[in-house]
Chains A and B, each alone.
Chain A
Amino acid sequence: MTKDLVVAGFGGQGVMLLGQIIALAATEKGLNATWLPSYGPEQRGGTANCTVVVSDEEIASPLTDKPQFAVIMNNPSMAKFEPKMAAGGTLIYNSTLVTQVPARQDIKVVAIPANELAEQAGSARSANMVMLGVMAWVWRDVFTQEDLLTAMVHKVGDKRPQLLEINKKAFALGYEAAQKAI
């Protein structure tokens, strides 16, 4: 089993963190994982993205030019990654912010109103956690919800219980939305 995922959006949307949580969850399960960020000027104010590879074998390339999975959080990222998706891949996008609807017919497209759901959970800033919940459903053959939630707590910390509650709620809403959509 080898799966890859690109997470892309604005700097500040927590796309790097989302990727790191998934990589950490894989590590904690004894799987191999790589997390590769875009870095440099790109990070500052512009678009940010990271690539996560999860495998039960030794991982060869940590970067992918034909992602099997993608979580797209804004329009520029859609423009950049839709054309790159592997045929048969799954593209999940934040339908609250992304107005450019994917046109490709050879990929699965899942629209998740991540910001809306995040606001329902208590903070628009938890849109990345909504997407983490979505990934928990999409990659349910790899992770349990508990795997990802535990990694999330390890990564974000539990010093601010209120924030943690919001994140967990966002995760649950994302999971639920994905179940309905896919």
Chain B
Amino acid sequence: MKVVYERPKTLEKVTNHYCPGCHHGILHALIAEVLDEMGLAEKAVGVAPVGCAVLAYNYLDIDWIEAPHGRAVAIATGIKLAHPDVLVFTYQGDGDAAAIGLAETMYGAIRGVNVTTFLYNNAIYGMTGGQMAPTTLLGMKTTTSPYGRDAKREGYPLKMAETIALQGGTAFSARTALFNPKMIMETKKRIRQVFELQMKGAGFTFLEVVGTCPTNWGMSPVDATKFAETEMVKTFPLGVYKELKEVE
């Protein structure tokens, strides 16, 4: 019998804590697959955020460090300078990377730190129970924008992939999603691309991944996935915003 798919070796055989219909699990699995395929698990260090992915270190069989809230890219900078031969990535939510950690994330791009940041954008604070995120859509109701996000009151959704793309030290910035198999394969392709770029020393690589939060959106897993596909992408268009073709 031919094996067509098997559990990635780097994905730990444990039950994760994510809610049904949440896309974090998919993103974890994709990163694990790429690490396996590239043979990089032995050389990888992950930086976990504060947020839903705080326990990411339990799910991938690589070295991990758990960063203070928002400080993942600063932590990653220290690790990368300590050991330039390791693959360093941060795995962060929108609150972690784009609110409290915006300065650190931006400076990863400005300084061109040779690490990768995965930003899981589900437009909400999941772990703390559904508060407004910097990426919360206009009109979206959260526990801290109970009347719906109003630009006059709460400002506008922050477009990270576009913003990061503008910075000089950015080697790659894109936004993908996980709402259908085609997008999942596209995301996997981009994960491989950013890891390859990092191993070539290209600079800061950034992959924003549009995901779901059925629990805090108050939707079924199916509806949440549909919402990501139809609504989220209107504010957060998918695509590659910066891509360094040649690495010096």
Touch test A–B (CB under 8 Å): no
